[in-house]
Amino acid sequence: MGQPIIVVEKPTQTPGIARFELNRSLTGMGHERYASAEAILGERPVDELARRLFASGGVESVHANNAVVTVELAEGWQGEDLLDIIRGLYIHYPTDGAAGATADDADAGADAEVEPDAPDAPDAAAATSTTTVTDPA
C-alpha cells in the first residue's frame, strides 16, 4: 500500500484554472502538457495522474511541472473536486495475492461469511498483532 500525496490547492486569478502543489515531484525539471486523454502515451506516474483527472470528467487540460499540477476545469467543476484523485495516485489496494485477481474477485471474497467457531476462521488476535523493533544504538 502506498502513501497518499499531500496536496494543497493554491488560488489562481484565472477562473476555471486550478493549481495544485504536491509534496512529490512528478516530472523532475520537465514540463508535461496534456490537451486530452488521447494525448497521454506514457506509463509514468504523471501520465497516470493525467488519465485519472481526465476520467473524472472535470478536466479540459492538464499541465505538470515538477510538483505543481495545473488543470483547466470543465464547466461546473471546482479544484476541490479533484483533490482525492491526486491524493490517491500512489495508493494501491492489495488483493488476496492471486495473480490476475480483479476488483470483482476481491468483492466476491468480501461477501463470503465465516462462522466464528469454524476451524478456518481467522484468529483476530493474529491479524492485529504487531512487532516492535528498537534500534540498539
Residue 68 lies in a domain: yes
Sign of CA dihedral 43, 44, 47, 51: positive
| pLDDT at residue 95, rounded to an integer | 53
Residue 132 lies in a domain: no
| pLDDT at residue 2, rounded to an integer | 73
| pLDDT at residue 72, rounded to an integer | 98
Q: pTM for this structure?
A: 0.66
**Domain count within the chain:** 1
Residues in CB range of 114: below 8 A, 6 or more apart: 120, 121, 122
Residue 113 lies in a domain: no
Report residues of the chain scoring pLDDT below 70: 1, 92-137
| pLDDT at residue 79, rounded to an integer | 95
Residue 94 lies in a domain: no
pLDDT digits (tens, 9 = 90+) for 100-112: 444 444 444 444 4
Which CATH number covers residue 19?
A: 3.30.1370.70
Per the structure, the complete domain to which residue 23 belongs is given by 7-87
The residue assigned the cell 512487532 is 131
| pLDDT at residue 45, rounded to an integer | 93
What is residue 90's three-state secondary structure?
coil
